[in-house]
């Protein structure tokens, strides 16, 4: 603006002089005379006229921008704002504008739990070795182990299997009734289609009169969706075929009663310890082995099993041959390096 002001002040006298000469008809003579060439360095009338025209155009553009000036929150001109909105494609997408800043979402309004929230799980809110994976109570000296490696109390898992078995029987009965009804409906639909086809093949001797009221009623039902006759019919819920066996509470795999093997749990000072080394079992890798399915299994550390038992396949306590092994699920922790998911997300709608 400063340069434009200086340029305007400099050219105004020259423009006034040449405009006066131009009106009086002396501009051509003045610009072609020798004195004018010496004073102005030659025929400078075309250059001055061009500079004057540019000055007028710049003045008009500045006046127009000031007239159309509309500031936003960031003090940006309306023209520039429209240009930015056109260039930034994300702002035109759904959900591309976040009304709250990161500080407002995380700290200032954290108690309101606006939008999708993320929480980090603590160790006590996850599965702990030595607790029942179903009732979350402390296990006794004898527990039951599933093929997925979770420990359950005898009463909790047996009651779960009995309840799920009864529910599956009811679902199977409902599924069979649904299939029988579908077969019956298919037979009635076939008979109806056959009757309609036979009716269409008959020769119509006399054309039926078209009732205008019926036509108007059909048109009203088609366009007036709020009428009771225009409402859709209730859709019956389709029952899927239930599984043959109850599913495991955690692995969702078919679970049988004979797949539950007994496990002996050794407690010392309210701590679940290894049966060989006597170390407390917290978040380490744990293995359980059996010399016989009917006898309770022995729980040991994975490191102890690899160093003392893996080569000989004999129990250090009874010297019997080990026939079966299962890797147990270790206790959950709040550390990200534990290999487990320690964060959970809960979706909540936003205003965007």
Question: 52-106 pLDDT, tens per residue?
Answer: 677 777 777 766 666 555 444 444 444 444 444 444 455 555 555 666 777 777 7
**Mean pLDDT, residues 210-225 taken together:** 78
Query: What are 152's two structure tokens?
Result: 């359950």
pLDDT level of residue 264 (50, 70, 90 thresholds): very high
Look at residue 272 and give its three-state secondary structure: strand
Question: 111-142 pLDDT, tens per residue?
Answer: 666 677 788 888 777 888 889 999 889 998 88
* Residues in CB range of 204: below 8 A, 6 or more apart: none
Question: 181-194 pLDDT, tens per residue?
Answer: 888 777 777 777 77
Residue 41 within a domain = yes
Residue 159 within a domain = no
Adjacent-strand bridge partners of 263: 143, 297
Contact predicate 164/246, CB 8 Å: yes
The rounded percent of the chain whose pLDDT value lies above 70 is 66
Question: 273-304 pLDDT, tens per residue?
Answer: 999 999 998 888 999 999 988 899 999 999 99
pTM over 0.75: no
Residue 279 within a domain = no
Residue 234 within a domain = no
Query: What is the residue range of 80's domain?
Result: 1-97
Contact predicate 299/317, CB 8 Å: no
Residue 193 within a domain = no
**Mean pLDDT, residues 171-179 taken together:** 91
Measured distance CA(325)–CA(302) in Å, rounded: 11
pLDDT level of residue 238 (50, 70, 90 thresholds): confident
Measured distance CA(28)–CA(316) in Å, rounded: 121
Q: Which residue has the tokens 């007994």?
A: 262
N-to-C CA span, the chain: 41
List the Cα angle 271/276/282 in 5-degree steps.
Answer: 35
Residue 205 within a domain = no
Residue 29 within a domain = yes
Q: Which residue has the tokens 């960031």?
A: 74
Contact predicate 239/180, CB 8 Å: no
Query: What are 346's two structure tokens?
Result: 């809960």
């Amino acid at each position: 603006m400063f340069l434009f002001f200086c340029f305007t002040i400099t050219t105004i006298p020259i423009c006034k002089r040449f405009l006066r000469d131009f009106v009086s008809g002396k501009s051509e003579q003045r610009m072609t005379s020798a004195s004018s060439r010496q004073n102005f360095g030659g025929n400078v009338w075309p250059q001055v006229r061009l500079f004057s025209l540019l000055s007028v155009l710049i003045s008009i553009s500045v006046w127009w921008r000031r007239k159309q000036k509309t500031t936003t929150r960031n003090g940006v001109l309306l023209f520039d704002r429209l240009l930015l909105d056109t260039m930034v494609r994300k702002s035109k997408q759904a959900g591309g504008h976040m009304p709250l800043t990161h500080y407002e979402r995380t700290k200032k309004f954290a108690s309101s739990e606006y939008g999708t929230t993320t929480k980090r799980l603590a160790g006590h809110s996850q599965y702990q070795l030595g607790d029942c994976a179903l009732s979350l109570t402390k296990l006794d000296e004898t527990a039951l182990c599933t093929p997925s490696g979770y420990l359950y109390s005898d009463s909790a898992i047996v009651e779960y299997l009995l309840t799920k078995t009864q529910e599956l029987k009811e679902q199977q009965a409902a599924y069979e009734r649904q299939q029988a009804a579908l077969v019956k409906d298919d037979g009635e639909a076939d008979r109806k289609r056959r009757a309609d086809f036979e009716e269409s093949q008959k020769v119509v001797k006399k054309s039926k009169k078209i009732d205008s009221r019926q036509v108007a009623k059909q048109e009203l039902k088609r366009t007036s969706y709020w009428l009771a006759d225009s409402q859709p019919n209730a859709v019956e819920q389709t029952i899927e075929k239930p599984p043959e066996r109850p599913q495991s509470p955690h692995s969702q795999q078919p679970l049988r009663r004979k797949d539950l093997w007994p496990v002996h749990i050794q407690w010392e000072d309210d701590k679940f310890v290894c049966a060989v080394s006597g170390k407390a079992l917290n978040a380490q890798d744990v293995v359980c082995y059996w010399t016989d399915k009917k006898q309770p299994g022995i729980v040991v550390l994975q490191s102890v099993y690899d160093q003392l038992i893996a080569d000989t396949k004999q129990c250090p306590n009874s010297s019997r041959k080990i026939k079966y092994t299962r890797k147990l699920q270790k206790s959950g922790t709040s550390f990200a390096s534990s290999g487990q998911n320690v964060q959970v997300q809960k979706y909540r709608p936003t205003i965007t």
